[in-house]
Chains A and B, each alone.
Chain A
Amino acid sequence: MRMDADSSMQDTYFERLSEIPNSDKYRQCLQCGTCGGSCPYGIATPFTPRRMILAIRANIIDELLESGAQWLCTSCYTCSYRCPSKIPLTDGIIPALRELSLLEGNPPEELAAALVNIARYGNPFKESPRKRINWTKELDFEIKILSAKEKSTDVLFIPECFGAYHRRCKEVTKAMVEIFKILGVDFAILGNDERCIGDLTRLSGEFGLFEDLVEKNMKVMSKYEFNRVVTIDAHAYHALKHEYPKFGFDKPVYHHTQFLAENLETLKSMFNELDYTVTYHDACYVGRRNGIYDEPRNVIRAILGVKFVEMKRIRENALCCGGGGGGVWLDSFIKEHLQERPAEDRVREAAATGADVLVTSCILDIPMFEDALKVTGLEGQLVVKDISELVLEALK
């Protein structure tokens, strides 16, 4: 249904915004432009976050929506991180704008399809939910799947959608599970009842769907006993740690880099030598959003023979791979506005360090960077590995 008048669009917008903590800080926007200057799409977007706030203040939200600028965001959090007024751009200003587009009924098609699929099948790939644990069949050992018969475990491991279904990404899931086995960890997965954890839906403005996913996932998890959650998906980590508690979730949540760092002493004693020059990409939702910088570095440095080199833009200044915030489903839309994707820029930066391995820790990095390697012709020069894949290699 079309919006009747600007005022009702404005009203809807502010109603949603008011639900996001600290959203009224937008009134303190200094118009300094740090956000736009930091944004990976800053040069391409018709409305940088700064101009978005101007548009909101001037009540020309319809113009803003028509430009599509709300979709030229990868939720990398650089703008929010650097904003002197601490305006919740990533969690509030932009998702609430996206919600208006969704209400208008015309989000970019690829993303729309992903959202519809998540609602219906629990994953964006339009794959059957009954196939969510098919990756386990590729292991040569059994793993514990929580069910009526097996109700408890120490670690609940969450592969998330890409980790379960994506042909390349499930290698990371399998690597992590092998590491658990080597370490003798008591872990289990949720099985086919696991649905998309949903950070992508929240950041895309599909607040209703996000709530539904939280509800469904928490209902499933409440059937079982576990002490903590470990996940390889940085966005799942973030949602479980910071958003799910708002709905009553109360278990400790760990990203797999934290888990690996925690078990480093044991792992160290088992590492073989690897002859790689490695650089590490600080994924947005591991590093900048959640402050996990040293753990992955310590793990990599602990592997003998590995020469570690840093890129120029590291830690809180790392450049996003472009996959977050629905980015992985917005590729053709974004490509209409940009010459070079952030991922291509980033792999060039990685190659310039002289590294032959680019280590990542957010599952979305892998398809984004591997594609970028093809486009930039750097395929032979650099390979992408998740930190768990590197660790497993050192263990074998």
Chain B
Amino acid sequence: MKICALIRMVPDLVEELEIDENGTEIYPSMYIANERDEQAVEEAIILKEKHGGTVEVVGIADDEVSTEIDEPLAMAIAKGADKAMKVNLSRPTYKRAELAKALAEFLKEREYDLILTGIQAIDGFAGMLGPMLATYMGLPYIGNVVYAELKDDHLLVRKELEGGVIGEYKVKLPAVIGIVSAEKPPRFVPFAKLRQAMKSAEIEEFDLDVPEIEGLEVERYYEPPKPEIVLIEGEPEEVAEKLIEVMKEIGVL
């Protein structure tokens, strides 16, 4: 099986996210690999270990994140990926449809049997990469997957539904799969091993043109209103009444 896993960088929320005065630009202080994409990379490696084949990891970079992506790519190599590639987008975009269209041709040429991507990212408010990519590539898609296994003529996947119920599906390859979590937690990579991978990993770079798709624009970014800390005291009756009000506000009652 020729597998591809996609990695995106997202703002690291441990650090402050600044919004400019007009609310039109957002300035992260630090970037980190998208957690769900890391799960996708892990699942790709697990599938390789189970069934053989190759894993190629494609990191998505642009002006804002050009070198930060090197570490997660090296991490993937340290875990067992065969090849790391970096696509440099002609311009950053928050629109997943634009990103998906840009990637579709590039990935199609490489004829992967399976493309894995995380189902969500904290900056994924405009569209969704997995299903859009699948559509532009003319491939089937299923998301929220937590397990995959190669059978004779299909990939058996388990999709997490609501209430802890899992749905099992047979997927004909080639396909795009959206991973929510790998079948095992991402393995640990010792610091020295990662450093070594960063020094020795050869990352092939490609330029990718990002098309413009009209119809959706961000008007502004802003912080949600902050709730005040409210302390209630008094008799249980009174307190209970007030708590019920709050629960109604929250929407649980």
Contacts and interface: CB of A to CB of B under 8 A. Distances in A.
A305 interface: no
Contacts of A248: none
Given A1-B79, A208-B193, A102 B188 contact: yes
Given A1-B79, A1-B80, A109-B185, A126 B14 contact: yes
B153 to A, nearest CB: 29
B187 A206 contact: no
B187 A105 contact: yes
B2 interface: no
A206 B15 contact: no
Given A1-B79, A1-B80, A208-B195, A105 B14 contact: no
Interface size class of B (residues with CB under 8 A): 10 to 19
B189 A105 contact: yes
Interface string B181-196: 0000101111111010
A112 interface: yes
Given A121-B14, A126-B14, A128-B15, A208 B187 contact: no
A81 B193 CA distance: 32
A115 B14 contact: no
Interface in A126-174: 126-128, 130
Given A1-B80, A208-B195, A115 B15 contact: no
A39 B187 CA distance: 30
A119 interface: yes
Contact of A115 (B49, B79, B188): B188
Contacts of A105: 79, 187-189
A198 to B, nearest CB: 11
A14 interface: no
A107 interface: yes
Contacts of A112: 188
A106 B14 contact: no
A208 B198 CA distance: 14
A275 interface: no
A119 B190 CA distance: 10
A206 B192 CA distance: 8
B15 A102 contact: no
Interface of A: 1-2, 99, 102-103, 105-107, 109, 112, 115-116, 119-121, 126-128, 130, 206-209, 211-212
Interface of B: 14-16, 32, 49, 78-80, 185, 187-193, 195
